[in-house]
Structure 1
Amino acid sequence: MKKAEIRKIYLAKKEKLSKVEIEAFSKKIFTRFMSEFPLKENQKVHCFLSIPEKGEVDTNEFLNYFYENKIRVFVPKMIKTELIALEITKETPLIKNSWGIKEPAGEVDSGVKDFDFIITPLLYSDHFGNRVGYGKGFYDRFFSEVNPNAVKVGVSFFPPQEQVEDIAEFDVPLDYLVTPTEVLSFGNLESKSTK
């Protein structure tokens, strides 16, 4: 199935989720992530700030855990057509941008490229880690510029079903997908469940 069609289907599916479902599924995703990836102090995690209005996986529990366990947190920020990474702490004020998305002030990239984990927003991922985002390609460019050993983890309310057919040359697949029910690894050609 083509990305545009998948995007349409999964945007509609997300819109049908209630706040209660989003909260419950997000907690399950956090629990599965933590059981699969035990993080250590001073590791560097790039994690998106979720947009509740878009029905995204709520990353607040991730962020609070990282702060409490002295894991360094970096978040994405859009500057024109570029995605930069800013380091934040629990005390960093977040302000709403023109799209109503909370983000830290500042427009200077941290310069950090050696992330241990990149927790990635998406609409959908297939069984091979091919992700369908919002169609701008920001994360594919970002992935190509950072440490290739950074573990790219997608978080999604939905399991893989349809295969993404129109993979572009610059598309970068995920290493793992965490859903409320399982963790999928894409280390080989065949994905393996780590249920």
Structure 2
Amino acid sequence: MLKAELRKKYMQKRKALSTDEAFLLSEKIFANFIDYFNPKECQKAHVFLPILTKKEIDTQIFINYFFEHNIRVFVPKVVGDELVNIEIFEGSAFETSQWGISEPVSNEDSGEKYFDYVITPLLYCDKKGNRVGYGKGFYDGLFQSISLETKKIGVNYFDPDEYIDDVWKNDIPLDYLVTSTEVLSFLSGLE
């Protein structure tokens, strides 16, 4: 299927979830992430902040865990036309953006280029790690700017059933997909 068709289909599927269903699935996704990756103290995690009105995965569960286990947390923020990586702390101040995202008040880019994990938002991911987001390309840009050793991890309510027919040459696939039922690796034995 084409990205536009998949985007529409999976936005509707996500919209059909109740708030309780979305939260329970988020908890299962989080548990699968922890079981598979076993994050450690002093690691660095880049985590998207969800648009809860669009029923994105509730990543506050991840962030709370990371703070409790002394894992550094970075979040993306669009400043002008650029995605910057801002380190947050338990006392960081937040405000709601024009897109309904709770974002740090600070616009100061951390300059960090190495993360252990980039937890990536998406609407759909196929069996090759190709993803469909909102179509702005911010994460492709982020993936090009960070260390090649960073694990690019998508989180999604839905399992990959269909292939994306219109993958572009600049699209950067994920390394892993975490769903409520499994963790898929797209690294082809490179682990």
Q: TM-score, normalised by structure 2?
A: 0.97
CA drift of 1:107 comes to 1.6
Q: Percent identity?
A: 51
Q: Structure 1 CA distance, aligned partners of 2:12 and 2:182?
A: 22
CA drift of 1:40 comes to 1.1
Q: Structure 1 CA distance, aligned partners of 2:74 and 2:3?
A: 28
Q: Structure 2 CA distance, aligned partners of 1:183 and 1:96?
A: 31
Q: For 1:43-192, what aligned pairs fall within 5 Å after superposition?
A: 43-188=43-188
Q: What's the CA shift string for 1:78-122, capped at 9, x where partnerless?
A: 012211100001111211122321100122210000111000000
Gaps of 5+ in 1: 190-195
Q: Structure 2 CA distance, aligned partners of 1:188 and 1:69?
A: 30
Comparing 80-89 with 93-102, greater Cα deviation is found at: 93-102
Q: Structure 2 CA distance, aligned partners of 1:168 and 1:53?
A: 29
Q: Structure 1 CA distance, aligned partners of 2:99 and 2:155?
A: 22
CA drift of 1:188 comes to 1.4
Q: Structure 2 CA distance, aligned partners of 1:6 and 1:97?
A: 26
Q: What's the CA shift string for 1:147-194, capped at 9, x where partnerless?
A: 0110000000000011011111110000000000111000119xxxxx
The one-letter code sitting in structure 2 at the alignment partner of 1:147 is S
Q: SS state of the match for residue 66, structure 1?
A: helix
List structure 1 runs of 4+ shifted beyond 3 angstroms: none
Aligned to 1:32: 32
Q: Structure 2 CA distance, aligned partners of 1:67 and 1:106?
A: 19
CA drift of 1:76 comes to 0.3
The one-letter code sitting in structure 1 at the alignment partner of 2:102 is K
Q: Structure 1 CA distance, aligned partners of 2:98 and 2:159?
A: 32
Q: Structure 2 CA distance, aligned partners of 1:124 and 1:137?
A: 14
Gaps of 5+ in 2: none
The one-letter code sitting in structure 1 at the alignment partner of 2:173 is P
Q: Structure 2 CA distance, aligned partners of 1:161 and 1:82?
A: 32
